[in-house]
Amino acid sequence: MTIKRMVDLAISVPALILLIPIFLLIGIVIRLDSPGPVFFRQVRIGQGGEPFRIHKFRTMVLDAQTKGGALTIGEDPRITRIGKLLRKYKIDELPQLFDVVRGTMSLVGPRPEVPEYVARYSDDQQKVLKLMPGITDPASIKYRNESELLAKARDPECEYCERILPDKIKINLEYAENAGVLSDIGVILSTLKSLVRSNNDANH
């Protein structure tokens, strides 16, 4: 077991134990807010190009994938009332702690993409698939307001595939070259700071 894996378990297992009561409360609110399951599961591409199912709290209406594209753009009408709140504070991402415990994700690593976007990777971009995907990464901090950026684009799909996604991959490959436990902890702390800063900005 690597040090990175030990740190992942040392943080995610106690966090899940503490969060179980909150998860139950969130689950009840989601079910009361709109019909459908509590959790959203989606196939993503993980380390080595292996597909796996990522877990999130459901923030959209039932069968949202059949009512729109893979990207969430601005004030997407598919997002539920409670979903807006969960997304604002990134609470919808917390169930991925289960994926960390399972070993399909890490706390810090490139955000895993859906198969349709991975299929477009160039040979150089496919190097990112050698890395364990994570809940957060340096690129997620830079693009914390991604949906708002896409909402301003003439062609959101083109903007994501030709500019944002290549930049994310570049950022993560550069980070991985010298990544370690301390730098990973720094990314986690920076993620928390960016959430606080974004929410403070939104309230002013």
Q: Which residue has the tokens 């959790």?
A: 39
Query: What are the sequence ranges of the domains in the chain?
Result: 3-202
C-alpha to C-alpha distance for 148 and 71, rounded to whole angstroms:
11
- Asked if pLDDT for residue 136 goes beyond 90, the answer is yes
Residue 26 has pLDDT above 60, yes or no: yes
Average pLDDT over residues 118-147: 95
Q: What is the pLDDT of residues 104-127, one digit of tens each?
A: 999 999 999 999 999 999 999 999
pLDDT at 10 over 70: yes
Pull the structure tokens for residue 78: 């598919």
Give the model's pLDDT for residue 198: 65
> In the predicted model, what is the mean pLDDT of residues 126-149?
95
Q: Using an 8 Å Cβ cutoff, are 47 and 132 in contact?
A: yes
- Give the residue among 97, 116, 121 at the shortest CA–CA distance from 107: 97
Q: Does residue 52 sit in helix, strand or coil? A: strand
pLDDT at 199: 62
Residue 21 pLDDT > 80: yes
How is 113-169 classified by DSSP, letter by letter?
Answer: PPHHHHTT--TTGGGGGGSPPEEE-HHHHHTTTHHHHHHHSSSHHHHIIIIIHHHHH
pLDDT of residue 64: 84
Give the three-state DSSP class for 199: helix
**Average pLDDT over all residues of the chain:** 93
pTM over 0.95: no
